Amino acid sequence: MDAGDQGQFFLPAATMAEAIARVYSLTGAVPRGTRGEKGAILALRDVLGLETDIADTNSRTGALIAFSLGVEWLPSYEERNKVNLDGMNALLEGAAEAYRLGSFARLAARRPAGLDDPKWSAFEPAASKIEAVNRISQLTGSGPERLGPGSKEQKSVLINLSTNLVPHLDTRLTKTKLGKALAEFFGAPWTDQCESTGETISLTGLNTLLAGAELRLGRLGIARAMLLGTPEQEGKALAAALVDGWRATTDEGGRRRVLWDGRESIAWMEKQGLTRGPNDNEWQGFYYEAKGRELLNAAFTPNPNPPRISYGRTDFDYSLQFVWDLKAHTEMWRTPSTGAVTRGQSAAPLNDQVAMSQCIGEQGLGFLMVGGVGIEDEDGSFVAWQREQKKAKGVKSKPSNSGRSRRRKAGFEPQHVEAFFFHDREALTGALLAGQLTGFNQGLQAPDAEGEQGRARRPKFNLSVGKARGSDLAVARFEWPA
């Protein structure tokens, strides 16, 4: 990638929460107790080695960081001495370019305390447990890993590490004792900070084992940015991170489940300043995209040389070594009063055909699809509430082209995340011939007024999810606990 290409491959954060998560991941800093954007701005200040006065406002510190990064700082980036989302994206883009060029070193805040010897200097700590366990798994070729309840690492991570690198160890040891034995064999320091209560290994402990294993295999620093070797490996890690990012709660009936309540999800999007999503019928798709990007950016160290993500008017959602888009698919509907469940659409709309074809032909393209159950807005109270919210903001509800109101969701219960990947144009053509992928012309956009006709939209592809599951397109599937 040429020096001037970074802007083409930079995808702005959609929310302040995503921007903050990306800054922490980029700098290697540990999130501070400071609320909002201040902690992220201080992390950028620290990684650049800048001196600021304790009384400096966020906007003043942001301007100083921008000057250091060679980024133009506009008055519109500031609001009441704070840095807004446009400002954070300007700083984030400048920092991403500096990271790509190697002009700043990530902070060593996540580096275990004992790894200060020069022999560990190349080690890049994992940003999260999910990144750590998958990087360890990649070293041993043991397949994807996910976290258990309470974000606990599975003992299988350590067993696989021992079996491949230290086969003489007794894997019947407790998890923490096995971790300590592995660290000692690798010559890595195992401290009290490596363990947590309840036979849990902390992120510090996982990073200690990761560093030791990388050194043992002569790969210290090679796994920078968690660049997994294949789309299949990367898709599995990303899908696992998304499932682990949403925790189950107990409903009124005592059932443990993950539920995206419509009102709560829209309130979250409103708080994040999203203009699209809160006012849309398919709010769950926008919520999944925005929250999912935040989770992924917090979970994985960014790639200093990211692939291209923009094609025409289409920006795909996320990338590490490969490009991915996040999609929500309503596989079933549930009627609350009766509990009756009916089938949803078998096909899931993807993206603009031209943009998809170009991306797939150039570098491949993957989809991280959440499938679940739409909770029907049976009494119409949710849509009435949503319309009142729109009215209060001065947003006019547009009429339907058909004159009929669509079935609405008051909630969405995600059940699994699946990863699908198109490697090249041959895979795209094969999927079309096999009926796994079909083209369709989208319906017209909603008209601006009664009696008018909505504007035409560009053709998209549909993915027949059932057919795709049994094909080479499918690379991963992880379930939320029933």
pLDDT digit string (tens) for 370-380? 999 999 999 99
Alpha carbons 154 and 429: distance in angstroms, whole number:
39
- Of 153, 159, 152, nearest in space to 173 by CA: 159
Q: Are 149 and 480 in contact (CB under 8 A)?
A: no
pTM as predicted: 0.83
Across 77-81, 103-107, 277-281, least confident range: 103-107
- Report the pLDDT averaged over residues 210-217: 92
Average confidence score pLDDT of the chain: 86
Q: Say which residue the tokens 């920006």 belong to.
A: 315
- Of 288, 289, 459, 234, nearest in space to 357 by CA: 459
| Neighbouring C-beta atoms of residue 11, cutoff 10 Å | 21
Q: Binning pLDDT at 50, 70 and 90, where does residue 4 land?
A: very low
Q: Are 72 and 53 in contact (CB under 8 A)?
A: no
Helices (H) and strands (E) in the chain, counts: 16, 18
Tell me which amino acid residue 18 is.
E
Across 3-17, 207-221, 427-441, 468-482, least confident range: 3-17
Alpha carbons 166 and 158: distance in angstroms, whole number:
10
- Report the pLDDT averaged over residues 217-226: 68
Across 228-237, 324-333, 458-467, least confident range: 228-237
What's residue 418's pLDDT? 97
Q: Say which residue the tokens 């926008």 belong to.
A: 286
**Pair of tokens at residue 108:** 């060593």
- Report the pLDDT averaged over residues 339-360: 93
Residue 404: φ, ψ to 5°: -115, 145
Tell me which amino acid residue 63 is.
A
Q: Which has more confidence, 200 or 3?
A: 200
- Of 326, 247, 227, 320, nearest in space to 286 by CA: 326
Alpha carbons 33 and 428: distance in angstroms, whole number:
47
- Of 128, 152, 35, 133, nearest in space to 82 by CA: 35
Residue 127: φ, ψ to 5°: -80, -20
Q: Say which residue the tokens 């201080």 belong to.
A: 42
Decide: helix, strand or coil at residue 467: helix
Q: Say which residue the tokens 């609405």 belong to.
A: 408
Q: Binning pLDDT at 50, 70 and 90, where does residue 425 land?
A: very high
Q: Binning pLDDT at 50, 70 and 90, where does residue 7 land?
A: very low
Q: Are 362 and 308 in contact (CB under 8 A)?
A: yes
- Report the pLDDT averaged over residues 396-403: 55
Alpha carbons 216 and 238: distance in angstroms, whole number:
26
What's residue 5's pLDDT? 45
Alpha carbons 191 and 112: distance in angstroms, whole number:
9
Alpha carbons 290 and 39: distance in angstroms, whole number:
21
Q: Which has more confidence, 234 or 142?
A: 234
Helix segments in 328-464, DSSP class H = 353-363, 381-392, 425-433
Q: Are 402 and 439 in contact (CB under 8 A)?
A: no
Question: Helices 129-140 and 155-165, interaxial angle, to 10°?
Answer: 30
Alpha carbons 415 and 481: distance in angstroms, whole number:
8
Q: Say which residue the tokens 């700082």 belong to.
A: 73
> Given a cut of 60, is residue 6 above it in pLDDT?
no
What's residue 201's pLDDT? 94
The β-bridge partners of 373 are 332, 413
End-to-end CA distance of the chain: 45
The β-bridge partners of 412 are 260, 374
Alpha carbons 281 and 291: distance in angstroms, whole number:
18
